[in-house]
């Protein structure tokens, strides 16, 4: 009963936080042409703009806005390093630029030939307004949040390692007791059934990929941490899927490759049809991992923010204050439900990605049966 109350309290806190942050963003956007232009937009357009800014990457990590009557709004941001290389031209050699994104604020519209796009939050060429004239190797907000997740995981697992060393033969407690059932579940439910006696060889990768996806999914549910959508970024999921692709195919034994290029018992004329299909399957397996994680996490973030936006949309079209109240009464229970689903999906997608990776590796290393 106490655990259920804790979960309910967490969901209510998340829902209130999303509503407060959305209200701040909708009234005080970070990226807009001007205050007048922003005021001309309807609440519906502002909700859409806010959602798109949330799921997109940016060169600055915006945490929130502080409003003070009679004073200019103060935006709380984490300034990130910009690492840019301008492409060489006939008249000018290539040039590296290293600076913090704070250079674009405090009256600096452009810096070293670059500026911050007011709509996307990305660095663009100050003259052309495009990103074609340079390579951007900056630490963006998604990269920053991935590094944050890596640091958190490192602290957690080094703490657990120390606990096992100091408390050998004793029952786990604290953070060790929380994570041990999850690790045992992954071993018993994914590693051993799919990998057999060789599970220990691949267990470190499976554990790393599960917890890395999970921590990024959970960080994406924290509203005031800078609109995190790392695991809903196609580049993030593509790199993880590529790692799985390499591990699967490097581990593949001769029987695995034989069933792709020279399936036993199949006429040679049929191989001309089946072999391309099998090769396509090798590529499609990680593509499924990539698109499933990307689609579910991005869709979940958009759904949560869209439900929050209903409160403000219904309030705008209401003729009385009761309209906004009605919007809140209708949207808030839905928001609680969607947050609960998102919390479940955060664990589910990490589990599915790890499970499918384990199944694919198991198929690649499976010994031939006569």
Q: 92 and 161 in one domain? A: no
Ranges 38-42, 68-72, 192-196, 237-241: which has the least confidence? 38-42
Q: SS3 letters for 37-96?
A: HHHHCCHHHHHHHHHHHHHCCCCEEEEEEECCCCCCCEEEEEECEEEEEECCCCCCCCEE
Q: Residue 178 and residue 188: Cα distance in Å, rounded?
A: 17
Do 265 and 360 lie in a common domain?
Answer: yes
Q: What is the mean pLDDT of residues 222-226?
A: 62
Say if residue 299 is in the same domain as residue 157: yes
Q: Does one domain contain both 117 and 233?
A: no
Domain boundary among 123, 138, 153: 138
6: in domain: no
d(CA 227, CA 204): 30
**Angle, alpha carbons 185-187-191 (nearest 5°):** 130
Q: Given 104, 138, 172, which residue is the final one in a domain?
A: 138
Q: Flag whether 8 is in a domain.
A: no
Q: How far is CA 238 from the centre of its chain?
A: 12
Identify whether residues 186 and 246 lie together within a single domain. Answer: yes
Residues 323 and 251 in one domain: yes
Same domain, 103 and 196: no
Give the domain-ending residue among 98, 122, 138: 138
Residue 28 forms part of a structural domain? no
d(CA 349, CA 333): 24
Of 290, 148, 317, 160, nearest in space to 228 by CA: 148
CB neighbours of 177 closer than 8 A, spacing ≥ 6?
171
Rounded CA-CA distance 353/48 in Å is 30
What pTM value is reported for the model? Answer: 0.80
Residues 132 and 266 in one domain: no
Question: In the chain, how many domains are there?
Answer: 2
3-state secondary structure 152-217: HHHHHHHHHHHHHHHCCCCCCCCHHHHHHHHHHHHHHHHHHHHHHHHHHHHHHHHHHHHHHHHHHH
Task: Give residue-wise pLDDT tens across range 87-136.
Answer: 888 788 888 989 888 887 655 578 888 888 877 778 888 888 888 889 98
Residue-range definition of the domain harbouring residue 127: 81-138
pLDDT, tens digit, 9 for 90 and up, residues 2-44: 655 555 555 555 554 555 455 445 445 544 444 444 445 566 6
Determine the Cα–Cα distance for residues 14 and 307; give it in Å rounded to an integer. Answer: 13
Does 230 share its domain with 117? no
pLDDT at 132: 87
Residue 254: other Cβ atoms inside 10 A: 8
319, part of any domain: yes
The verdict on 127 and 165 lying in the same domain is no
370 located within any domain: no
175 and 202 in one domain?
Answer: yes
Q: Is residue 70 a part of any domain in this protein?
A: no
Instruction: Express each pLDDT in 307-330 by its tens digit.
Output: 777 766 666 655 444 445 555 566
Helix axes 234-251, 199-219, angle to 10 degrees: 180
Q: Is 48 part of a structural domain of the chain?
A: no
318 and 360 housed in the same domain: yes
Q: What contacts 24+ positions apart, CB below 8 Å, involve 180-187?
A: 183/207, 186/210, 186/354
**Res. 275: pLDDT tops 80:** yes
Q: What is the mean pLDDT of the chain?
A: 77
Residue 203 domain flag? yes
């Amino acid at each position: 009963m106490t655990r259920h109350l804790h979960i309910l309290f967490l969901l209510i806190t998340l829902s209130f936080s999303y509503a407060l942050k959305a209200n701040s963003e909708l009234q005080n956007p970070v990226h807009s042409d001007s205050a007048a232009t922003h005021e001309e937009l309807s609440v519906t357009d502002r909700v859409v703009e806010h959602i798109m800014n949330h799921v997109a990457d940016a060169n600055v990590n915006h945490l929130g806005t502080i409003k003070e009557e009679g004073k200019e709004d103060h935006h709380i941001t984490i300034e990130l390093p910009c690492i840019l290389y301008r492409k060489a031209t006939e008249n000018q050699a290539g040039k590296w630029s290293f600076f913090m994104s704070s250079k674009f604020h405090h009256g600096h519209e452009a810096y070293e030939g670059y500026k911050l796009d007011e709509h996307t939050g990305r660095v663009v060429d100050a003259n052309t307004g495009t990103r074609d004239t340079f390579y951007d190797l900056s630490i963006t907000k998604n990269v920053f949040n991935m590094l944050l997740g890596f640091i958190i995981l490192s602290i957690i697992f080094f703490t657990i390692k120390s606990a096992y060393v100091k408390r050998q033969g004793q029952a786990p407690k604290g953070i060790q007791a929380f994570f041990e059932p999850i690790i045992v579940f992954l071993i018993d439910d994914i590693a051993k059934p799919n990998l057999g006696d060789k599970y220990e060889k691949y267990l470190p990768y499976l554990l790393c990929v599960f917890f890395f996806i999970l921590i990024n999914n959970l960080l994406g549910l924290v509203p005031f941490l800078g609109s995190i959508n790392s695991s809903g970024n196609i580049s993030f999921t593509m790199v993880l899927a590529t790692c799985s692709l390499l591990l699967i195919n490097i581990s593949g034994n001769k029987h695995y490759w034989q069933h792709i290029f020279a399936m036993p018992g199949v006429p040679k004329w049929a191989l001309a049809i089946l072999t391309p299909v099998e090769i396509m399957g090798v590529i499609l397996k990680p593509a499924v991992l990539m698109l499933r994680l990307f689609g579910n996490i991005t869709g979940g973030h958009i759904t949560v923010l869209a439900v929050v936006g209903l409160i403000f949309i219904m309030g705008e079209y209401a003729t009385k204050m009761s309209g906004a109240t009605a919007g809140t009464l209708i949207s808030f229970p839905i928001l609680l439900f969607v947050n609960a689903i998102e919390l479940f999906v955060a664990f589910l997608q990490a589990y599915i990605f790890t499970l499918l990776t384990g199944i694919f590796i198991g198929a690649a290393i499976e010994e031939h049966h006569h």
